[in-house]
Amino acid sequence: MADDEEPIIVGNTLAQSPINKYKRWQWWSLVALNIVFLLLGQSVAVLLGRFYYDQGGNSKWMATLVQTAAFPFLFLPLFLIPSPREASTSFRPSIKILALIYVILGVLIAADNMLYSTGLLYLAASTYSLICASQLAFNAVFSYFINSQKFTALIINSTVVLSLSAALIALNDESEGPAGISHRKYIIGFLCTLGASALYSLLLSLMQLSFKKVLKKETFYVVLEMQIYTSLVATCASVVGLFASGEWRTLHDEMEGFGKGRVSYVMTLVWTAVAWQVCSVGVVGLIFMVSSLFSNVISTLSLAVTPIASLIVFHDKMNGVKIIAMLMSLWGFATYIYQNYLDDSKYRRIQATIIGKSIGDAVC
């Protein structure tokens, strides 16, 4: 296939996607591994972020910085996750184009992280989760216009069920919101979280578009390379924001006044940073292996997983409504996985037919 030729699309699977470069069990194993990374990383990061604010942390730029500061941690998967050999090609993106992509995406990531940090500071967990669930609706729009995403009845069902599940959990959350938050700050938090959800969905679609149209390489190394460089740019932008805002001057007093002590303050920030990078590996890995919409569906699923983690860590109550919402989210998740299984099977049948026909033509 020529470099400028459009790949064949089967359902929601690209014929040029990594699915035809890995063995069947390797592809599903990597998808499962990335799902675990995303769910575990995001759940832990959100819990630690809430813990940071609850114990006296108040720096929005610090909360933004830790979301990308541990990007060197991303080099570890380069040695752990195998990648199939890549066919040689004369096409190579120029350094200027790559730098432009990484800078733009990195700055957008920093802005998105700042919006999320502001929303989590000013909103109750219930409202925050409810607004975050809107990212699926935003992603459906961006995926349709930017990535030509195909929708089926199963995909629509999964998207609707997961959104309703997250909304049900959010509406049923009886925990009190942050104390001393004015109506003005509440509105700011609401708008910031809504904007962050839209920007996050746009980022996923832009990353998938970059893999398809610009990078044109289908190895896990390329995925991690994008994450490393965009995280580097986002980290630099967050450091600039931390110093430009003057919040760096308050960090020492913040550490001294942290509810659980100075060591706990440092460890909270460190493990929050690590958790976000584990999550990032899963997000970008799923964009690479499947699609941006699938990555977003799994991100929304974590809104249902987080209450389970809260139950274990903070001993939150798990009532009947939350259990029902949990079952709904698992239903939506299973539906989407089944759709991708059908696409996988359909593509492999078509591929086998094409190969058989080519062999037959060669024999004749």
Looking at 10-14, 52-56, 271-275, 339-343, which range is the least confident one? 10-14
The per-residue pLDDT for range 156-176, each reduced to its tens digit, is 887 787 777 767 766 665 555
d(CA 287, CA 281): 10
How many CB atoms neighbour CB 199 within 10 A? 18
**Who contacts 107 (Cβ-Cβ below 8 Å, separation ≥6)?**
233, 234, 237
246: buried, middle or exposed (CB in 10 Å: 19+, 13-18, 0-12)? exposed
Scanning the structure block, which residue is given the tokens 């929304």?
300
d(CA 308, CA 315): 9
Higher pLDDT, 118 or 122: 118
How many CB atoms neighbour CB 355 within 10 A? 10
Mean pLDDT confidence for 202-209? 86
pLDDT-derived band at 100 (thresholds 50, 70, 90) equals: very high
Mean pLDDT of the chain: 77
The per-residue pLDDT for range 207-258, each reduced to its tens digit, is 888 888 887 765 667 777 888 899 999 999 999 999 999 999 999 999 999 9
The per-residue pLDDT for range 346-355, each reduced to its tens digit, is 767 776 777 7
Q: What percent of the chain has pLDDT over 70?
A: 71
Going by the DSSP 8-state scheme, the letter that residue 67 receives in this structure is T
- Structure confidence at residue 210 (pLDDT): 87
Q: Please, are residues 63 and 121 in contact by the beta-carbon 8 Å criterion?
A: yes
What are the boundaries of each domain within the chain? 11-81+93-359
- Structure confidence at residue 237 (pLDDT): 96
d(CA 113, CA 110): 5
d(CA 316, CA 313): 8
**Do the strands 9-10 and 13-14 form a parallel or antiparallel pair, or are they unpaired?**
antiparallel
Of the candidates 287, 313, 310, the one whose C-alpha atom is nearest the C-alpha of residue 298 is: 287
